[in-house]
Each structure stands twice: as structure tokens, then as C-alpha cells.
A and B are shown apart, each in its own frame.
Chain A
Amino acid sequence: MPQTLSPQYAIQAKNLSVYYGAFRAVKNITLSIEQRKVTAIIGPSGCGKSTVLRSFNRMNELTPSASIAGEILFMGQNIYAPEVDPVEVRRRVGMVFQKPNPFPKSIYENVAWGARLNGFRSGLGRPNMDEWVETCLRKAALWDEVKDKLQQSGLSLSGGQQQRLCIARAIAVKPEIILMDEPASALDPIATLKIEELMRELAEEYTIIVVTHNMQQAARVSDFTAFFSMDEDRAGALVEYGLTTQIFTTPKDSRTEGYITGRYG
């Protein structure tokens, strides 16, 4: 399917501002994320990258003081509309965190848990749970390493393996979007490389939004890049957004150029 013919965006933020109490952490972000692409969010520390990402699946609601203004459309539908259930939103917009956080359950159970929770149904012509767990672990490029120890605790894996397990866990509920907040920052270079490859592969099926501090990583894995920065009152704002190749070769804004070349931030 030619990608150019998909006008519908996975996520659109319109005039999004996020507050922690009275403090405005990000202001007036307007941005449209393409389906089945990898979009990278970069920017200096504290500019609100995580904040924006967490508002995409209403995870920010778990912080009691957080509130938002503006709209976030998921497949054209405002996810903050009163009739929308955050539980439903989070099932369809999954998340992978900075620090690997597998459940203290078996590897198998880590993957199966979310699927079962969301009413996984097997049947004729459909995978049963064992097959589905295998599929997800294969997609997360972890299957070969764990296939003989599915009943061991997820905590017994190495950091990189744990993170891939978390990715398998996320895709096991068949989300449409996967949000990743610095998914490789706690990992060594080899594990990082594996995660990056994985992101590229997953982009065939999922929309991926990844926050990263690593410029090379953003350049390597992403199709689009959004650069955030802070203004005087410490509120984060979107500075520039476009094709990764364009952002990294011919940035329009001098702040973007400064940040990418390491002169700023």
C-alpha cells in the first residue's frame, strides 16, 4: 500500500498544553503523526518530551496534579472527550518505558497477561495463547533467547532482553501505536542496536513514537523528527517538525541546528 495515500494521521495534537498544577510544562503544541512511521521526539532535558508522550495515551492522568488543555485526536477522535475511557485508549496506544519494567511473573505470563486482560479469544483460524506469545516474542526478536525458559521470571533476563520483553508485552494487546520513552537509554550499545532494528521492523505494522536523547539514533531509526525546546518561562514548545532527513540536513530553525550539532542544550 503506497504510504502517500494515507491521509489519516495516527495522532494529532492541536494546541496541546500540559500543566502540572499551575506550572505549564508544554505549551501550544500542534503536530500530526503519520501512521506506520517512526517519529522521533528530540530536545533538551526537561522540555516536556515525556510529558507530551504520556498525554498521548492519558498516562499523565496517573499524576494527580497533571491536566491538559487543547485536543489530542487518535484516528480522528478526541481521546480527552468525556465519553472516552482511558482504559480503551491505553489498550490501543501502548507504551514502553525508559527503564525496563517487566512484571515479577514468568516470561510467558508477562506477554500473556495483557492479552488475557483484554479478552484474548482464540478459536478456529486464530492463534491460541501459546502461539500468540510465541508470535509476539518473535516480533520482539526475543524468541530464540527465551524459548527454553518461558516459565522463568521476567526479572531473570538481562536489561536488553527485559526491554524487548516489555516490547513483546506491549504488542501482545495489538495496539495501533507504540509510544517509547528513551527505550534504549538504560542499555549497552549492542542491546541498543537490537532495539533500533526492532523499531524499524515494527514500523511495518505499528505507528511508533520514540523519545530519544541520542541524535544518531533519531537519525538512524526515524522517518520524522520533532524538535522541542524550552522558552524563557521553562514551558516546552515545538520548534520544528518534518522529515528526519530534512531536519538533520537542512534545519530551518537555528535552534534546531544548534541542538543537532551539539552547540546548544
Chain B
Amino acid sequence: MSLRRRSRPGESLIQGFLFFCGAFSILTTVGIVYEIGKEALLFFGDPEVNGWKFFTGLKWQPQAGEFGILPLLNATLMTTFFAMLIALPLGLCVAVYLSEYASPRLRNWLKPALEILAGIPTVVYGYFALTFMTPLLRLLFGKDVVDIYNTASAGLVMGILILPLIASMGEDALSAVPRSLREAAYALGATRLETAVKVVLPAALSGLAAAFIVGVSRAVGETMIVALAAGAGPNFTFNPFKGAETMTGHIVRISGGDLSYDSIDYNSLFAIGMLLFFVTLSLNLISQQIVRRFREVYE
């Protein structure tokens, strides 16, 4: 019997294939950066376009040669703000309830219910914004105040979409705080509220911050709700009851129509896309970094 190393071609073939599968995701990233970057560069290289004005211009009117991102960016920030206005306080409260108050049995019921909320397709949320939230806002504030398309409605509904995300990430962060800290607080005569708010919450702060950042990133990249409810047409306004198109909404509307390749309109979408990609990527990287730090403290 020989103990010599045998060559196993099948084995290495499989390993090679598996490596390809793993490395494939790198190709995706490279593809995103290359393709979107290439078109974006074509856009910035166009004589009609002024890179400085892209970031500072208050008008986005491709037909007039005006490419200022601010109206789109502003609308994105407004919807994001309204989304977090709903999602952060509610999501945090739900997270605290799940991790500090709910019995295990109740938790086993509540979490899947929240998962359902998170699993509903975003186009359904868009429908909800348009057919429920907007009429509600118009009822509350008056039809002459609230337009049919407005950023508030889209943002608030987006908050409902992001709420379960914050709740579940928040709950993870809170339950990662060791039990011994809670016991220490109780043993000093703290109430459940004081234990939760003054000991557990601060100890989980970085995890909660990570949840918040992921929520913001999600809101910035969210598309269908704003495409349906926020308004079709760039509009630089701080009035949440007026329609204004976000970055994602603009991309969807323009690319859904007839678009010819190699036009400046086509390229401009990729410039917006690139901005979107880098904003969400950096938000995600920051949150991952925070989570990793947080883990090191408690593991």
C-alpha cells in the first residue's frame, strides 16, 4: 500500500468551481463599479456638464442642460428624514419591548409578525402610500395644502417598511448585552424601565447606532414607494406636502420610458446611480464596522 499523495482531478475540479462561485460576487462588485463608473465618467466628461454644478446646482432639467443633483438629493433626504421619524422611535420601542419586556412565548409570535411586515414587497407599500397615506394627510391638513404626490406620505410609509428592520437589529443589539448587567441594575433597586433605559440601552448604543445607519441606507436606496407617491419631477422644495422626485425615483421614471443609449440622459442616470451606490456603501461599511467593535466588547 502506498501512502503517496494521489492526484484527485475530480476533487480539484470541484474545488476550482467552488472558488469560482465564491469569487463571482467580486465580479458583481467590479461590474457595478466599472459599468456605472464608466457611464458616469462619460456623463462628467460631456462638455455640457459641469462637475461642480452637478453637486451644487439647484435645477435638474436635462432638456435645458441643467444637471444639478440637489433637488433630487434634497427629496431623498426629506423622505429619509420622514422615514426615520417613524421608524426610529417606534422601532426602538419595539426592540426594547421585545428584548426587555416580552415573554419568550410572546416574542415567538411577535417576531414573525414583524418579519411579515418586512417581507411585503415595496411596491405594495407604494400602493399604500398613494391610496391610504396621501388621502389621510389630505384629510388632516386640507387638500389645498397637501399635493397628491408629496414627500411626507412616501417618507412616512417608508418608515413603516424600515421599522421592522430597526426593531430586529435593535433587538439583536439589546439581547447581546449580558444578563449580568441587568441583574446588577436590578440588585441596586432599579425598575425594569431604569434597567432597560439606563443600563441596557447605553450598553447597546453602538449596535443601535448600526441599526439606525442601516435604516438610513435602506431609506436612501428605497425606490418604489417614492416612485409611486413622492412625485414625478425634480423639485427643489423643503415643503413636505409638495411633490419632489428623489434620486431613485428619477432613475426609475426615466429608465422606464424610452431611453436611447449614449444619450446624456442615459449617462446622467448612472451619475446619480454612482452617488447612490457610494452613499449606501459607505453607510453599510460604517455600520458593519460599528457592529464588529460592539461584538468585540461582549465576546
Q: Which residues of A contact B (CB under 8 A)?
A: 57, 59, 62, 64, 87-88, 90-92, 94-95, 97, 99, 101-105, 113-114, 117-118, 166, 169-170, 173
A90 and B181 contact, CB distance less than 8 A: no
A226 to B250, alpha carbons, bound, how many Å? 76
A213 to B187, alpha carbons, bound, how many Å? 22
The residue in chain B whose Cβ has the minimal distance to the Cβ of A178 is: B187
B183 and A104 contact, CB distance less than 8 A: no
Interchain Cβ contacts under 8 Å between A and B, 29 examples: A59-B183, A59-B186, A59-B187, A62-B183, A64-B103, A87-B190, A88-B189, A90-B186, A90-B188, A90-B189, A91-B188, A91-B189, A95-B187, A97-B180, A97-B184, A97-B187, A101-B180, A102-B184, A103-B181, A103-B185, A104-B202, A105-B202, A114-B189, A114-B190, A117-B188, A117-B189, A117-B190, A117-B194, A118-B188
Q: Which residues of B contact A (CB under 8 A)?
A: 103-104, 178, 180-191, 194, 198-199, 202-203, 297
A59 to B184, alpha carbons, bound, how many Å? 10
Instruction: Please list the 6 inter-chain residue pairs (A to B) with the smallest Cβ-Cβ separation, ordered nearest first.
Output: A91-B189, A114-B188, A95-B187, A101-B180, A90-B189, A101-B184
Chain B interface, DSSP helix/strand/loop, else mixed: helix
The residue in chain B whose Cβ has the minimal distance to the Cβ of A99 is: B180
B188 and A113 contact, CB distance less than 8 A: yes
Residues of chain A with a CB closer than 8 A to B182's CB: 62
Residues of chain B with a CB closer than 8 A to A169's CB: 184, 188
A87 and B184 contact, CB distance less than 8 A: no
The residue in chain A whose Cβ has the minimal distance to the Cβ of B190 is: A117
A19 to B297, alpha carbons, bound, how many Å? 35
Residues of chain A with a CB closer than 8 A to B202's CB: 104-105
The residue in chain A whose Cβ has the minimal distance to the Cβ of B205 is: A104
Q: A87-B191, A114-B189 are in contact. Are A104 and B103 (CB under 8 A)?
A: no
How many A-B contacts at CB < 8 Å in the complex?
Answer: 64
A118 to B189, alpha carbons, bound, how many Å? 7
Give the residue of A88, A92, A101, A173 whose beta carbon is less than 8 angstroms from that of B183: A101
A101 and B181 contact, CB distance less than 8 A: yes
A57 to B190, alpha carbons, bound, how many Å? 13
A68 to B88, alpha carbons, bound, how many Å? 40
Residues of chain A with a CB closer than 8 A to B188's CB: 90-91, 94, 113-114, 117-118, 169-170, 173
A193 to B109, alpha carbons, bound, how many Å? 50
A99 to B180, alpha carbons, bound, how many Å? 8
A104 and B203 contact, CB distance less than 8 A: yes
Query: Other CB < 8 Å A-B pairs besides A94-B187, A97-B184, 10 of them?
Result: A64-B103, A90-B189, A95-B183, A97-B180, A103-B181, A105-B202, A117-B189, A118-B188, A169-B184, A169-B188
In the complex, what's the smallest C-beta–C-beta distance from A14 to chain B, in angstroms? Answer: 23
Residues of chain A with a CB closer than 8 A to B185's CB: 103
A104 and B297 contact, CB distance less than 8 A: yes
Residues of chain B with a CB closer than 8 A to A118's CB: 188-189
Q: A101-B181, A103-B199, A104-B203 are in contact. Are A62 and B189 (CB under 8 A)?
A: no
In the complex, what's the smallest C-beta–C-beta distance from B297 to chain A, in angstroms? Answer: 7
A94 to B190, alpha carbons, bound, how many Å? 11
Q: A64-B104, A169-B188 are in contact. Are A97 and B198 (CB under 8 A)?
A: no
The residue in chain B whose Cβ has the minimal distance to the Cβ of A57 is: B187
A97 to B185, alpha carbons, bound, how many Å? 12
Give the residue of B103, B184, B186, B194 whose beta carbon is less than 8 angstroms from that of A103: B184
